[in-house]
Structure 1
Amino acid sequence: MLQTILLVAMILISISLSGVILLQQSEGGALGMGGGPSGFMTARGAGNLLTKATSILAILFFLCALGLTVTGNMSRANESVIDAAAVGAIAVGGDTQTQAPAAPAPATPAQPAAPSLDDLEASLPSAAGTPAR
């Protein structure tokens, strides 16, 4: 339940963060180059409402991401990757099924994976009747 609430909140925060970023005024230049001293780090730029909203939404986004990570791992808190009871077993949906050892394959004569050149030559019609090019 908490995970669903955090996921919906994260989606809403992501959409609003994208909107707030797109509403901000461009300061000229590409990739942050140029713009002069009236950039992000000045008092006037930091006092801007859109700048404050962007930073608040960014902090909320990261907090939601951390909350989703924590709530996603709460159900696995007491389990280990290498559990002594699960060695040699496969965990399927919380149940463990022991794996039977594989039966040895019946002995078959070794066959090549692909036909050899001799097999290819034997399958071609004889070249005696065709003129050379």
Structure 2
Amino acid sequence: MTSTLLIVQFVLAIIITITVLLQKSSSIGLGAYSGSNESLFGAKGPGNFLSKATMILGLLFVINTIYLGYIYNQNKLESAVDNVKTESLIPATPEKEKAPAAPIAPVAPVLPTEPAGK
């Protein structure tokens, strides 16, 4: 899902760049390469269509950016350690194979002795 949205982000960036460069400005922009762009967009010219297209593409770009940021933030909160199954890493030992614990022998109390010099 993330990779698809990232590809959409790149495509939107390229299309926005092209629509901005096709708009009329003091210089001719990319319109010089496509010939007369007046006939391509109708009698009124590309101004109205391209400005609306730029606005819609920009809005889609911002929404996609916010959603990608949200997804990456959610993935950042997850830890790789949380996904490790610890039960499969520790070998299980059956109860029959365990050696019985040795009984603890009672210890006789040690009585204090008198010093030898008295």
TM-score calculated relative to the size of structure 1: 0.42
| Bigger Cα Rg | 2
Hey, which of these two has a bigger chunk of helix by percent?
2
TM-score calculated relative to the size of structure 2: 0.47
Hey, which of these two has a bigger chunk of strand by percent?
1
